[in-house]
Amino acid sequence: MAQHTKLDLHEQINSGCQKCPRLDRRENTEDGLCTMTLSVQDGALVRCVGKWAQRKIHFLTQYLGIFASGIKVGWEGHIHYIELCSGPGRCIARDTGTEMDGSPLAVLGHQTFPYLETATFLDYNPAVVQSLNARIAALGCAEKARAVEADFNDTAGLKAVLTSRAARGLALVFIDPTDCSLPFASVASIAAALQKADFIINVATRTDANRNLKPAILNGDSKARAKYIRFLGGDAFFNDSAVIRLAEQGQDTALRNHFREAYRDALRGIGYGYFAQESILNYYDLLFASRHPTGLKFWKKAQQITPDNERTFDFFTDGTAG
């Protein structure tokens, strides 16, 4: 029997939001955090986000519901959620001034959260970690959920944290950076630490890569090229004659497709062979990657629920979409 679940993001209008145009955003934010106002809910930090945020949370929580409910018996409760670049847990949509729960609080408030053994949120900003831990405590979730200060460039540090938090069982890892600066070595380190994990990776294909990929290909000395080499885990993409030709011809769509495939190739190199992708309003791609066909099966079921109303969805308690 299907259960109807309302995903409540606790939306409120934040009158302190300036609804900043793009040119003002740099002055009014720091590290993605709004410097003009704090949360109207609890007075703590809020992250400035675009109109795509709710759609992203829809796909994440829809998959979490099917993932957690579908495997809770087989893994004897050893199910973990991990989020990298988590933010403080509350955010403001800069086009409307609407404050809402971000992905961490959406996960904590999800009806399948009790199925998780641990939930770990990683961010390099200590103020962000402090705000999120306060919110976790206020929700009464501190026994199994924790925000941890961690730099995604520190592969050894990431591995140590995750080994201590999620040594046994199966994990869902959500990686949510704002650009393509996350080194692939960090993804590989997370995969090695967990052994059994599905990934949902927010890849800035249509923003960062769309603006900077072509110059990086045509200018071998650019800082952007060095960033993308770290992101892809190697320079094969930039030595591909087909890629160079596409850049020279201005074939941007085909170039982005090659970039996506190069990233999948990197994931294949660490044992991932099942992939799916969801575009987020022509800004980002949510890339799903699993080592097992069941993960892809769950993802496809999750996508049967459209985000036309991003706070409402159905799923069956046995893990099948309805």
Any domain includes 208: yes
Q: Do the domain assignments include residue 210?
A: yes
SS (H, E, C) 234-288: CCHHHHCHHHHHHHHHCCHHHHHHHHHHHHHHHHHCCCCCEEEEEEECCCEEEEE
Q: Indicate the DSSP class of residue 251.
A: -
Q: Is 314 among the domain residues?
A: no
Which H/E stretch holds residue 228?
helix 223-232
Token pair of 208 as six digits? 């960062």
pLDDT of residue 304: 82
Q: What is the mean pLDDT of the chain?
A: 89
293-309: per-residue pLDDT in tens? 999 999 999 888 766 54
Which CATH number does the domain housing residue 166 bear? 3.40.50.150
Confirm if 47 and 102 have CB atoms less than 8 A apart: yes
Question: Please, what sign has the CA dihedral across residues 204, 205, 209, 211?
Answer: negative
Residue 72 lies in a domain: yes
- Percent over 70 (pLDDT), the chain: 93
Of 132 and 206, the one with more pLDDT: 132
Give the pLDDT score at 245: 96
Q: Which of 182, 135, 132 minimizes the C-alpha distance to 158?
A: 182
Task: Please state the domain count of the chain.
Answer: 1
Q: Which domain holds residue 62?
A: 12-304
Residues belonging to the chain: 322
Distance CA 265, CA 261 (A): 6
Predicted confidence at residue 74, as pLDDT, reads 78
pLDDT at residue 25, as a whole number = 76
Where do we find the tokens 């591995």? 159
Per-residue pLDDT band for 107 (boundaries 50, 70, 90) equals very high
Rounded distance between C-alpha atoms, residue 46 and residue 135, angstroms? 12
Percent helix, percent strand, percent coil in the chain, to nearest 5: 40, 20, 35
Residue 309 lies in a domain: no
Q: Does 24 fall in a domain?
A: yes
The Cα–Cα gap between 102 and 36 comes to: 18
Cβ–Cβ under 8 Å, residues 48 and 25: yes
Give the model's confidence band at 280: pLDDT under 50 very low, under 70 low, under 90 confident, else very high. Answer: confident
What confidence score (pLDDT) does residue 71 get? 87
Among 46-50, 100-104, 317-321, where is mean pLDDT lowest? 317-321
Say whether pLDDT at 174 is over 90.
yes
Give a yes or no: residue 6 inside a domain. Answer: no
Q: How much is the pLDDT for 284?
A: 84
Per-residue pLDDT tens over the stretch 243-267 = 999 999 999 999 999 999 999 999 9
Dump pLDDT digits (tens) for 113-168.
999 999 999 999 999 999 999 999 999 999 999 999 999 999 999 999 999 999 89
Is 313 within the bounds of a domain?
no
